[in-house]
Structure 1
Amino acid sequence: MNRSRHIPEAVRRRVEYVDGKTCVECGRTIDGEALQQHLDHREAFSDGGEHAVFNLDPLCHECNQAKRSGDTARTAEMKQRHERQDAEVRRYFQETDVDIVDNDQLRTPQAESVQALRTYFAEDGATNLPAIVVLPTGCGKSGVIACAPFGLAEGRVLVVAPTLTIKEGLADGTFSGTDNFYHFCDILPRDARLPRVVALERGRVNEEDCRRADVIVTNVQQMQGWLPLFPSDFFDLIIVDEAHHTPAESWQNINRAFPDAKKIYLTATPFRSDERPIRAEPVYKYRLADAIDNGYVKNIVRVDAVASEMTFTVEGEERAYTREEIMDLRTETWFSRGVALSDVCNETIVDRSVQLLQAKQRRGTERHQIIGAACSIRHAEQVAALFRARGMDAAYVASEGMTTEEREQRLRDYDAGRLDAMVHVGILGEGYDNKNISIAALFRPFRTVAPYTQFVGRALRALPDGTDTDNLAHVVAHAGLNQEEHWQYFKNETEEAQVQADLTAPGGEDADAAAGASDDDPDPQTGNTDSAEVTSETIEGFDVDAYLPVEEDASAAEEHLQDMEQALDALREQGLDVPDADAIKQDIARRNRPLGDEDLPPPPNRPARERRAYRKILNTAVRRAAGTILRRLDLPEEADLAEAVGQGDEESRVEVVIRRLHRRVNAAVGRDDNSEGRNDWPLGALKAAKEHVIDVRDAVEADIQAALVETDGSGSDDAPPPEKGSDEWDDVEWGNPFDESG
């Protein structure tokens, strides 16, 4: 194949960034006038040398002419040093005595997967496809990453993580540090050398660091900028964590850059969110059922709230749906949108999550926490407020809308147990580990099974010192969110069908990451883009389904009841009777009933917190309505809204509309003369006011249009529909959960 001698400009810039404008032979500054710059290939281009930064040196034109095609003393010494470093890395991974195969400190899937990888790569042609290892979340993928290079790698190892969080955990926790995996599991003796690990960081890592390293750890986005630096043979083994992302173009760039390297993929979800295949050969899979049975992860129970009746309000028109209609309609985007964003349904999920948390805290021995998944930042704020109204210490985190320091402080509080619940918008998926999470509350629908599985996995990590109750995770949702198919897919482990060696699959970025808030086309069921809202519902019960049968609690109850019967028999033989015997037996049965299937007590009533939460929810609804009005009006810049309908002291159009909305909402509940604000409003008034917001919004919009026409003819008689990115979704961080285009 003909190769171009042209060195890409991007490579030239990186050489200058790394080496500056100094000739590496004579040390003189290359000024572009007296001395011209030439990029010299250490391994000659004619001998196969590549246009890689680590194979190029800046020379002045005089040194370049003197060198010609041979080596200088400097380049000869450098090549010898690099060969010694390469040989040392190979010997380290091939000859170091490690205890892996029969190590009882390792989990079964860790030892078995390493053995399966060695067998696969020992076969002829094994490097034609990457090897994929499937381990459930919490079963020790990081341990496999640490062990796999020994006996397998014949050169440097590149470990690629999907995020900076996972990258830092691998570099600072798995491979090094006082609690490194090798010493923790007795893989290496304390006096043995640990692998030399370098975490790529711009400006802090140079070529010498990389060449001395046995293992280089990076994340996929960061690696894109480093690819031009490395020759294609720099790595012998590439290990990819969370490999369900690999069909994306950014990951394929890495594969193409190192075509001859052996490749290992690890994941808990061996399929893409967009159902594109993973190009890999399955060599080992450990079933989630086995992981639960062996105590590596928690058992998991799905708890879906099922309504016998729901009332939807769309543009002021109410309609009630029966249970059968709800089950049929939940596949519709407008329906699941209404469920996700309605306070009524959110309260149902919050209440059940709080009840389960209280039962776990009462009956278990470990700390338990809730993690929630919300649609947007505003939605997360509202859900967190609902938790706080029920006596929970709760917060939310998102990638935007807060400072890094604020986000990190909230996560520290959550990790330390100072928060009972954390609601997140797309940032606590893969790579976030907190074993005390045992309730995953869904306030948003997931469009595909991959992100659903990743979210559920946050609650799976086992509590080694906990009881059976402690090691029972719950996924709480509303049946109207339409997640049943994902649960069954997850439960039955049919993902094997998604793993295909389809070598002709085209490239493309991760569908979840690329999905935006764009699913706002008019819906045939509603005729517009406004979200339907659930104004009331009657919950008839909870649909409960366990991944594995929850038998431990039932057997414990049986033992307790048998003990009590024996004690009662002994008392009867002595002529004594226990009047409350039946009540005691019922209490034993109730306390040992599987969590999620019992009639749990309601959370403690916190009136002040609940009222404050609803005041915030009302204010948010008003702001949202103001945004919708302004989008619909689409006013020209010269239109003076303050003069037309304001009081004259407003500083923006938004303030004009919000004030008008607040006044009309107050009037709708008979509190238009209240000059003290809503601080003293009773809860019932706040709830009633929230129900009037949609009607008030439309009335205010009509008033503004009429006023503008009277003053200067601005505005339009026909309000345009909301643009894509409606008021519910203008700050979506995690991809629009209702976007069906992906």
Structure 2
Amino acid sequence: MPNAFELLKNNIEENSKLREPQIEAYRALKEFYQGDFKTNHEREVGIVLPVGCGKSGCITITPFAFKSKRALVIAPGLSIAKQLLKDFNPSTSFYKKCSLLEGNEFPEPVEIRGKLTNRGDLDASDVVITNIQQLQGLDNRWMESLPIDFFDVIIFDEGHHSVAETWVTLKNKFPEAAIVNYSATPERADGQIMTGKVIYTFSVQSAIKKGYVKELTATRLNPTTLKYVRKKDGQEVEVLLDEVIKLGETDADFRRSIVTSKESLDIIVNASIHELEQLRETTSNKKLKIIASALNYDHCIQIVQAYRERDYSADYVHSKENSQKNDKVLQKLDNHELDVIVQVRKLIEGFDHPFLSVAAVFSVFSSLSPFVQFVGRIMRVIEQDSPRSKINQGIVVYHAGSNIAKRWDDFKDFSVADKEYFDQLLPENDFVLDNPTDMERLQPALKYDEKIDIGEQTKVLLDKSALLADDPTAIDALLYLHSAGITGNINDLLQQVEKIPVTKVNKRQAQRQALNDKVKNTAGQIIAKLKINPKVKGMDRSFRNNNFAYVISLINREINKTLNKSPGERHDLNASELDLIDSRFPHIIAKIEHELS
């Protein structure tokens, strides 16, 4: 109906089905519309809500605060746009779910998607939903044809993106429209801050107390002695903990090496599995899972292999993979066929799987925003509105040298509402790895000009710090410890984390599968270097295989030649043969690149 957001009678401010931040954000927007927007001609504001606090619901009620004639809702990607369309669609809408509107009339939603939508659809709409990619590019038909007053409100989901050039162009196209940015953090991955005054925030500690998000615990891996080698001069330098933390903050090569070294990777894997199994035992829920952040494609393969060696079902998603492969992995996750999902910023925004309970940080975050978004993946609750529930616990596992501590500091400095919460990193307990000095020293897979090999790590302590809510009394703290099942003398709570055993057969099978992934990934890199279309034929003189398949066959041929194996015998490779291929792999690739150059 025309002017639906002005004429339809709504039940928002006194609605018991809405969450506190949804009502308060609506009131803040309504006050802004009636005040600064009308009188001072200020047009852009921000709303900051933690993941899981009802941001999508806030977006659906925002046009009512402005009595909008026609609103535009912009998502950063396709998956979020699809979910927002469901929230506006009358049959599945947030309005219907929360009894926001009387009768059977709803605002008319339209999605911009390829050529399915025409101008007549938009003219008949009250709200238009799309992802930013649909409005990009020169001569974009919508940006060219729509009048400058077509929208009077533009709502950006994940509004920290709104400083990007494409988003700014969109704002300039509709100069009179109010702009509302929603985000869990107002900072982009490149450090830029979203524009507009933040008129409402809902703190993490408040969200935890209300039971909207999980209660967080940080487990920091602190090596008391770390030995590393700069291959540039071949000298070994032992580093104490304070120096490890300092290097982690200032030396990018060091940060990358420490999370890709075999020793450090094994420690994070073992610690994350330990935390997962404790949660599973405490809650009697085997569906709880680990999400791991990786640096790059090769790192994904390495991390997945490490978990598989320990008999944990693991897989990865990556933007380099086609959507069909990624969708298949995500379906396995939804079906609870995986224990671990590994990603490189692929599951950051809009991904919702509440059973992710342990965040294992193998990567390095250069700014606040992606780290907060990653941690947000484990913050969605399993039991709604159930604060202090044992199953609503999230654990972040990270290494002291990977610069994550500095990211927490960034969070405290930036978010005033959460400053006290993140200041309260209270020690809970320390426990040591079993026989840490007996850890096997392995060659790390580093690919930097000045490589740093992480050597033997001794006395690796797990410094487990609870991110406690803002409880003013010791009683609340004791209640928390009791609800978490922690009893007895604090000094007696020290415990050992066992190394996760790796059977020879699991290691071999994981290594063999990783080899297949490595071959495909390397073939893609070779094709990219040669600037050749991977899908066409031409490199193979027989014209049987496309270029990508042909390069894969060349790599496999050299692997078979190195091992004196016939095609089809990959499944018979033993551990020593797989180790040999790992050591010879760079030589094999160099030979093939020379042949093709």
Normalised-by-shorter TM-score class: 0.7 to 0.9
Q: 1:412 matched to which residue of 2?
A: 331
Residue 322 in 1 paired to residue 239 in 2?
yes
Deviation at 1:341, TM superposition (A): 2.1
CA contact (8 A) 1:129 1:281 kept: no
Helix, strand or coil for the counterpart of 1:246?
A: helix
SS of the residue 2:186 aligns to:
coil
Distance of 1:95 and 1:209 partners within structure 2: 21
1:489: Cα distance to partner? 2.3
Q: 1:318–1:132: structure 2 CA closer, same or farther, 3 Å change rule? A: same
User: Structure 1, residues 601-628: CA drift from partner, whole Å, max 9, x if none?
Assistant: 5546543112332455678889999999
Residue 322 of structure 1: how far off its partner (Å) = 2.6
Give runs of aligned pairs for residues 194-209 of structure 1, distance below 5 A. 194-209=106-121
Matched-pair contact (CA < 8 Å) for 1:303–1:543: yes
Whether the aligned pair in 2 keeps the contact of 1:376 and 1:425 (CA below 8 Å) is: yes
Cα 1:208–1:617 shift into 2, 3 Å: closer
Asked if the contact 2:523/2:551 (under 8 Å) is kept, the reply is no
Relative to structure 1, the CA distance from residue 263 to residue 176 in structure 2 (aligned partners, 3 Å threshold; closer, same or farther) is: same
2:40 pairs with 1:119: no
Task: List aligned pairs for 1:126-275, cutoff 5 A.
Answer: 126-172=40-86, 174-176=87-89, 178-189=91-102, 191-224=103-136, 225=140, 226-275=142-191
TM superposition shift of 1:257: 0.6
Q: Partners in 1 of 2:515 and 2:320 — Cα distance? A: 23
CA deviation after TM superposition for structure 1 residue 546, in Å: 2.5
1:452 aligns with 2:368: no
CA distance in 2, matches of 1:231, 1:322: 63
Q: Is the 8 A contact 2:227 2:239 kept in 1?
A: no
Q: Choose which of 476, 479, 482 in structure 2 pairs with 1:555.
A: 482
The amino acid that maps onto 1:329 is: L
> How far apart are 1:200 and its partner, in Å?
0.4
**Partners of 2:135 and 2:192 in 1: CA distance:** 23
User: Partner of 1:441: helix, strand, or coil?
Assistant: strand
SS of 1:396 mapped into structure 2:
strand
Q: Tell me the percent identity.
A: 28
1:550-574 residue CA offsets vs partner (Å, 9 max, x unmatched): 754522478x97xxxxxxxxxxxxx
Distance 1:320 1:622 in 2: 35
Partner of 1:283 in structure 2? 199
- Which residue matches 2:441? none
Residue 346 of structure 1 aligns to a residue in which SS?
helix
Q: How far 1:689 sits from its partner (Å)? A: 5.6
- Whether the 8 Å contact between 1:156 and 1:236 is mirrored in structure 2 is yes
Q: 1:616 to 1:248 in 2, by over 3 A?
A: same
TM-score where L is the length of structure 1: 0.63
Q: 1:630 and 1:262 mapped to 2: Cα distance?
A: 47
Match of 2:289 among 356, 369, 393: 369
Distance 1:630 1:343, change over 3 A: farther
Alpha-carbon distance, 1:309 to partner: 2.9
Q: How do 1:191-590 and structure 2 match up within 5 A? A: 191-224=103-136, 225=140, 226-315=142-231, 317=234, 319-324=236-241, 325-330=243-248, 331-366=250-285, 367-401=287-321, 403-464=322-383, 468-490=389-411, 492=412, 494-495=414-415, 529-548=449-468, 551-552=478-479, 554-556=481-483
Name the amino acid aligned to 2:240: R
Q: Aligned partners of 2:527, 2:451: CA distance in 1, in Å?
A: 17
Cα 1:309/1:687, change in 2 over 3 Å? farther
> 83, 88, 99: which is aligned to 2:11?
99
Structure of higher CA gyration radius:
1
Residue 691 of structure 1 deviates from its aligned partner by 9.2
Q: How many residues align?
A: 523
Q: Secondary structure at the match of 1:148?
A: helix
Residue number in structure 2 paired with 1:65: none
Amino acid at match of 2:156: V
Report the residue type matching 1:296 in the other structure. Answer: Y
Is it true that 1:89 corresponds to 2:8 in the alignment?
no
Kindly tell me: are residues 544 and 204 of structure 1, through their superposed partners in 2, closer, same or farther at Cα, counting changes over 3 Å?
A: same
**Counterpart Cα distance in 2 of 1:104 and 1:653:** 59
Q: Look up the equivalent residue of 2:153 and give its one-letter code.
A: L
* Kept in 1: contact 2:158–2:184 (CA 8 A): yes
Q: Which runs of 5+ in 1 are unaligned?
A: 1-87, 498-525, 562-584, 633-650, 709-714, 716-742
CA 254–631 in structure 1, closer or farther in 2 if over 3 Å, else same: closer
CA distance in 1, matches of 2:263, 2:346: 26
Structure-2 separation of matches of 1:157 and 1:628: 43
Counterparts of 1:148 and 1:281, CA distance in 2 = 16
TM-score, structure 2 normalization? 0.78
Alignment-mate amino acid for residue 285 of structure 1: T
Specify the code of the residue in structure 2 equivalent to 1:309: T
Tell me how far apart the structure 2 counterparts of residues 625 and 535 of structure 1 sit (CA, whole Å).
27
CA distance in 1, matches of 2:121, 2:15: 32
Structure 1 residues 625 and 406, CA, compared in 2 at 3 Å: closer, same or farther?
A: closer
Secondary structure (helix, strand or coil) at the match of 1:103 reads coil
Q: Distance in 1 between matches of 2:25 and 2:296?
A: 39
Q: Is the contact between residue 72 and residue 151 of structure 2 (CA under 8 Å) also seen in structure 1?
A: yes
Q: Distance in 1 between matches of 2:350 and 2:108?
A: 23
Q: Distance in 2 between matches of 1:601 and 1:429?
A: 31
